[in-house]
Amino acid sequence: MSGEREDLWQALLRSGEGVVTDEDYEHGYKREVRQDLQQYVTFRVSGEVYGLAIHEIEEISKVFQTTHVPRTADFLLGIGNVRGRIMPVIDLARRLRLRLVERGRAARVLIVHFNDEPYGLVVDEVMDVIRIPPEAMEDKPGGFTGARAEYIRALGRTGKELVIILHLPALLDAKDFVKATVYEEGRA
């Protein structure tokens, strides 16, 4: 049961907020056998595998153009515009203070929803949608004490793989976005 893989788009479509297909009406609610299996989207950032709960992700988009916003932290690539909606776009590698690698064609922007606002998270590659039963989740990982610990919500295990589940509220904390030294600039 663990490690059950599905087509990403199918899964997104099914769990997606308010997206109902004809199939849903026909087969309705009989599809799920176990109800408590949380689905996660996994993705790669600087060689490591991370995950976010599928309901936190609204859409996966190709990398789009962003506009630089002055006086903001370096992890903020800028603001982007997806079908008329303005959103901050974050370089996850910089945010997690990981070694920076060249992004290739597989790079994507995960558009997540947090506090009713959209944010874009740039990742190197989107991998899968996986299901992890609650018992395979390890809350408050003890081993992680570094600077990144606050961004981690839990560790998930699917068979042999280990997925770092990210904690959006810490990742998207508004107070980190504005550069602290703004007031010093322009005076030089």
Partner 1 sequence: MTSIDQNAAEFIAEAQEIIETFSRTLLELEAQSRGSGPEPDLINAAFRAIHSLKGLAGLFGAAAIGGLAHSLENTLDSLRLGKLDLSRPVLDVLFEAIEMFGRLLAPQGEEGGGGEVDIEPVLQRLRQLGEREAESTGPQDSLEWVGENILSVLTEYEEHRLRENIKAGRNLYRVHAKFDIMQIDVGLEQLKDKMKGYGEVITYLPSADGSSDDAIELDILLGSKGSLGEINGALANPDVTVHRLTPAGDAPAAPQPAPGRSAPPAAAPKPAPPTMSEGTSRRAEPPPRAGSPTQTRTVVTTTEEPDPTSAASSEASLRSLSQTVRVDLRRLDLLMNLVGELGLVQANLTGVLDELRQIDHSADVSRELRVQIRDMHRKLALLQQGILDVRMVPIGQVFDKLARVVRKLSRDLDKEIRLVISGAETVLDKLIVEELSDPLMHMIRNCIDHGIEPAAERVALGKLPGGKIELRAFQKGNRVVIEVEDDGRGMDWTRIRDVAVRRNLLNAEEAASLTPGEAVNLIFQPGFSTRDSATELSGRGVGMDIVKTNIARLSGMIDVTTDLGRGTTFSITLPVTLAIIQALVIQSAGHTFCIPLNSVLESIMVETREIGTVEGHEVITLGGRTLPLLQLSRLFGLKPLHKNYRDPNRLYVVVVGLAQHRVGLVVDELLGQQDVVIKPLGSAVRNVPGIAGATELGANRTVLLLDVGRLVDEGVRQVDAAYQIGGGHVR
Q: What is the DSSP letter of 99?
A: P
Q: Does the protein bind partner 1 through residue 62 (CB under 8 A)?
A: no
Q: Is 112 exposed, middle or buried (0-12, 13-18, 19+ CB in 10 A)?
A: buried
**70 interacts with partner 1 by CB under 8 A:** yes
Residue with Cβ nearer partner 1 (87 or 152): 87
Alpha helices in the chain (DSSP H): 8-15, 22-27, 92-95, 168-171
- 28 vs 186, which CB is nearer to partner 1? 186
Site for partner 1 in 83-112 (CB under 8 A): 83-88
d(Cα 52, Cα 73) in Å, to the nearest integer?
23
Q: Which of 3, 118, 133, 141 binds partner 1 (CB under 8 A)?
A: 118
Contact with partner 1 (CB under 8 A) among 52, 54, 57, 76: 76
Q: Are strands 117-123 and 108-114 parallel, antiparallel or unpaired?
A: antiparallel
**Contact positions toward partner 1, by CB under 8 A?**
65-72, 76, 79-81, 83-88, 115, 117-119, 172, 174, 177-178, 182, 185-188
